[in-house]
Structure 1
Amino acid sequence: MLSDSGAGGSLDETFTRYFQDIGKGRGSSGGHYRRNSKRELERFVEWAAGERGPDEWTGIVPDDADRDPKFDDLSESVFREYARHLTSDRGLKQNTVQTYYAYLSAWCGWCVTEGYLDTHFAQRASATAPLPDDDGRRPGDQQAWTSDQRHTLTQYVDDAAYEASERLSEVPADDPDAKARARYKALRAARDRALVYLVAYTAIRIGELVRDGSDPRRRGVRWEDVSLSDGSIDVYRKKQSWDSASLPDPVIEPLRLYKRRLDPPSDQWAVFPTLHFATVSKQVKEELANRGLDEEEISTLREDSDYDIFLALSKNIRVPSITTDGARGTLKRITEDSDVDVEHSKHEYLAPHGGRRGMGEVLVRAFGYTVAARYLDNSEEMVRKRYSHIEAGELGDAAAEAIEDIDG
């Protein structure tokens, strides 16, 4: 049974409720899925109104009607035509076409549940027929750090952190400006080193380590979430719950030395605070003002400390975590500076997911799919699918040995 605003209602009038239902975080405003779905549904409405597509395309509204598309304009043939549009008119890759159509299909299913439609047109066989077969690959998610890349990158950040620490120790105490600059560089080098080691060896998703601007629940790990003695870290997983992840031995010492360099005034500090000057300055000024200091007092404190991050540390003004984009930017900079060899069709740097995937390769080859799945926080079925090339290679080797034994 259709709702009161069903067949005669406009398509986009459902969006607010739909996005609220699928959103994450405070006010249901966060989440990559929500944002991507919103973009694609808005494109669908524009296409349905005749504002997208080839020049001859006039939309799904009857020619004698002057109005926006409504639910009673929808049918299997409409979704079939949109599937053709995705496949042919936009030049999208086949897995991207599948993803975009899935956003539309999910909304269509929600409309059936809510009474806006009585039929899930988007799932009908005739509607999905023009869609290409899914090649089983996720766009941009095929990079895997090799052992050589992992070694080169970690060796570079080891050397950079050591050299920055040595330079700091050599700056005379009677040169406070130079001392502050050297201290800042040593802090950044130590932070970069810890981040690289975590990405390289833990297989933790980058959105579980640092702040995700699209989901307020992902505020970045804090020192209270880290137990160096137990070798564990609590992270907010993709499955929407907190869980403990392992910190293998190579990660412990970089984290320990970095914590000593940062010297956070409380364990509620972000493990990877942003060092973006404008962001830190804004946080410092706002917090000092909230504590009752006037502009002159704030200005004096900031001038005396040279770097706002050091003022924040001395006054226990918690600075937000670096974002996922910031972490990727850091890895881009380190990749360029280290001259590590990167050969990949989609990435010119060692991306965070490449570190996770590379660790997955190591675990599957060393311990099999069951152990790897637990470490990667994925189902064994997903891990088998993602790393099927390993099993295929092993079977190929076994077949070659069998042939050699038989042929003598």
Structure 2
Amino acid sequence: MESDNTGPSPEENALETAIQARLDSLDSGNYRANNELVLAQFAIFLRDKRDVTSLEDLTVLDCRRYAQWLRTRVNDDGDDLSAASAHANGPYFTIVRAFLSWCVDDERLDTNPARPNRVKQALPEYHADHDRQFWSADARKALLNFVDKRAHDTLDQFDDTRERAFRDRAIVTMLALTGARGAELFHDPRDDHRNGIRWRNLDLENGVALVFGKTREEQAIPLTKRVVDGLESYHRVLDPATSDWPVFPTRHHPSLATAVRDGLQDRGWTEDDIAATFEESTSMELLREHELAPPALSKNGARSLMQRLCEEASIEIDGEYLKPHGGRRGLGSELYAVDAELAQETLRHESIETTHESYRKQSVAERKKRLEDILDE
């Protein structure tokens, strides 16, 4: 008698096929949408980093490397992935582990490779009471006024100093007034898709910018008049050679020189010709002349810049400089106090529940302070 226990076919064992089957088993709604987002990123990681496209090739080590990758995406400023999302009980790992358990139940896998403790131990730790920075309204106003004056004071100075000041002002206004994440504006060396926002992504006439969002799709963000004014004046000073230039180029001289050298080599220039042209012009001049795009400022570079600006301006929050992601949180907190749905739309949260979870505690703390002020009076 022929057995019908033949196991899954190669087609059923394909990772993307199994993910689609898992999604089909879920009801529509936020949970299914969250599964689709997380599992798509899981599949991309396995394919690009581990060369795994089939469930039968998936091992415990692959899952541990995925956990370690999640850890690298978590940083203190929360620009990419929060520890709350990536830890053992957070949605990212929970969704992957639940998917693989479903594959076991559906007889696509014999065991769940994400179950062993050595996988969970590689995930980032998360402490729910971790203090997250919010830019206060006063700190934001002080920093905006500082970079405004700093840019104005360079109008009669030479190009490089003026360009830096206008760039720094544009960076601060974007961080303070748009709700954009640092990973959406600056270069992330760990992610090939995040190479800095480009001038072609900006529609200054209509006050809109397109960023590569957390969903790994292009998302539109509004640019208020103050942001547009800062970007327009900075564009005139920067004079980018093409619309493919990053809005915020690095000023790291070795990186700029490397971009010139690589670009000219790709066009058939010899080392001698390249060396000769460096004797006559700066790297930025050569990038403009030959319409080569400079590298974008990195996330770490943006943090260092904010630290320097805050030191110059003597501005701090609880003894620390104003971190890039604190601008998003501070704006979200103020919007939430007035209109929770506006906060959700501006910050591009998938659901209003995410907005409530992010800002309800902060809102209660602010109400407590206002109540104490009233009672003291």
TM-score, reference length from structure 1: 0.64
Deviations 1:371-400, CA, capped at 9 Å, x for gaps: 111011112111112111365368779999
Q: For the Cα contact (< 8 Å) 2:42–2:96, is it kept in 1?
A: no
Deviations 1:243-293, CA, capped at 9 Å, x for gaps: 211001111111111100111111111111112111111110111122222
Structure 1 CA distance for aligned equivalents of residues 68 and 39 of structure 2: 7
Deviations 1:191-243, CA, capped at 9 Å, x for gaps: 11100110011111111112222221222211111011101101111122112
The equivalences for 1:1-400 within 5 A come to 22=42, 24=44, 28-29=48-49, 37-38=67-68, 99-100=87-88, 108-109=97-98, 111-112=100-101, 113=103, 115-117=109-111, 136=128, 139=130, 142-168=132-158, 183-305=159-281, 307-343=282-318, 348-366=320-338, 368-378=339-349, 379-389=351-361, 392=364
Structure 2 CA distance for aligned equivalents of residues 97 and 260 of structure 1: 41
Unpaired segments ≥5 residues, structure 1: 5-17, 42-94, 129-133, 169-182, 404-408
Paired residue type of 2:214: K
Q: For the Cα contact (< 8 Å) 2:181–2:328, is it kept in 1?
A: yes
Paired residue type of 1:163: D
Structure 1 CA distance for aligned equivalents of residues 151 and 315 of structure 2: 17
Instruction: Give the equivalent residue in structure 2 for 1:76.
Output: none
Structure 2 CA distance for aligned equivalents of residues 121 and 287 of structure 1: 47
Structure 2 CA distance for aligned equivalents of residues 40 and 215 of structure 1: 12
User: Once the 2 structures are TM-superposed, how far is the Cα of residue 111 of structure 1 from its aligned partner?
Assistant: 4.5
SS of residue paired to 2:189: coil
SS of residue paired to 2:244: coil
SS of residue paired to 1:166: coil
Q: For the Cα contact (< 8 Å) 2:316–2:322, is it kept in 1?
A: no
Structure 1 CA distance for aligned equivalents of residues 314 and 331 of structure 2: 21
Root-mean-square deviation (CA, aligned residues, Å) is 3.8
Going from structure 1 to structure 2, the CA distance change for 1:97 and 1:2 (only over 3 Å counts) comes to farther
Q: For the Cα contact (< 8 Å) 1:21–1:28, is it kept in 2?
A: no
Aligned residues: 303
User: Once the 2 structures are TM-superposed, how far is the Cα of residue 314 of structure 1 from its aligned partner?
Assistant: 1.9
User: Once the 2 structures are TM-superposed, how far is the Cα of residue 101 of structure 1 from its aligned partner?
Assistant: 5.8
SS of residue paired to 2:196: coil
Going from structure 1 to structure 2, the CA distance change for 1:316 and 1:101 (only over 3 Å counts) comes to same
Structure 2 CA distance for aligned equivalents of residues 292 and 329 of structure 1: 36
TM-score, reference length from structure 2: 0.69
SS of residue paired to 1:387: helix
SS of residue paired to 2:297: coil
User: Once the 2 structures are TM-superposed, how far is the Cα of residue 167 of structure 1 from its aligned partner?
Assistant: 2.0
User: Once the 2 structures are TM-superposed, how far is the Cα of residue 145 of structure 1 from its aligned partner?
Assistant: 0.7
In percent, how many aligned pairs have the same letter? 26
Going from structure 1 to structure 2, the CA distance change for 1:34 and 1:354 (only over 3 Å counts) comes to farther
Q: For the Cα contact (< 8 Å) 2:303–2:323, is it kept in 1?
A: yes
Paired residue type of 2:289: S
Deviations 1:344-368, CA, capped at 9 Å, x for gaps: 5xxx2111111001111221223x1
Unpaired segments ≥5 residues, structure 2: 9-37, 51-62, 72-82, 121-125
Paired residue type of 2:283: D
